[in-house]
Amino acid sequence: MARHRGSPKLLALVLLGMAWGCRGPLPQPPRPPGVAGAPVPLARLGFALQAGAFARVENAARLAERLQGEGLDATYFKAPDGLHKVRFGDFPTRKAARQRGEALTRLGILEVFFVVAPEARPLETPEDPDALRAALARTARSYTGLPYLWGGTDPSQGFDCSGLTWTTYRLNGLALPRSSHTQWDAGRAVDAEDLRTGDLVFFATGRSGRVSHVGLYLSGGRFIHAPSQGGRIGEAALDEPYYRDRYLGGRRYF
């Protein structure tokens, strides 16, 4: 990866709250769960920009939150080397990614960046769907224990529910839509008994009965999610009364 520097500006900055779903009732009626079938494929992500690597997760999250404030789709993750890295963007070519990075440094938004090729992403190939499913579960579980954020009131505090699923798919190279209701619309319906690791599960937690919550299915009837304001990312069971009574259906994307 080529490293590029721009105007000196401190980039260290906190833990990301993605306020793209889980806000309550949405204007569209939910589709009922359907039968499992051929999933609707998601687009593969192209080149990305890496804007920093930090030993402390708080610093990576601060930077991700700041870049989001600039309108960039930044997220962070813990790499195998133990560093927490911040990435954003989906560019068709290395040149396009580099030009965008250079423009952002001229604006003082970035201090340093790397261009990351698609093959350098921490993902499995879709030709091996079982490996991809396992990678999605590992990625989601890596955020276990982080606090939940609803509505973006304090972006330094954690993820919202659709931010967790969006980030998990994105870090594995798949362009999942951002909000819970667009994630619901994008996938292929799958019955509860046919759920597989990496599918998404949706709930109506408000009075409207519409999509307002999403988690990532693991196995054995369990899923991982950002549960509620004041809670932390963790696992739950679909047959728990609260989730059983509010379950809308599952969706598959590959």
- Annotated catalytic residue within 22, 84, 181, 225: 225
- Annotated catalytic residue within 22, 84, 161, 181: 161
Q: What is the identity of the amino acid at 45?
A: L
181 is catalytic: no
161 is catalytic: yes
Burial class (CB in 10 A: 0-12, 13-18, 19+), 114: buried
φ and ψ of 113, to 5 deg = -150, 160
Burial class (CB in 10 A: 0-12, 13-18, 19+), 18: buried
Instruction: Pick the closest to residue 51 from 37, 41, 64 (CA basis).
Output: 64
CA distance 148 to 16: 10
CA distance 243 to 232: 16
- Annotated catalytic residue within 22, 84, 181, 213: 213
User: What residues are annotated to the active site?
Assistant: 161, 213, 225
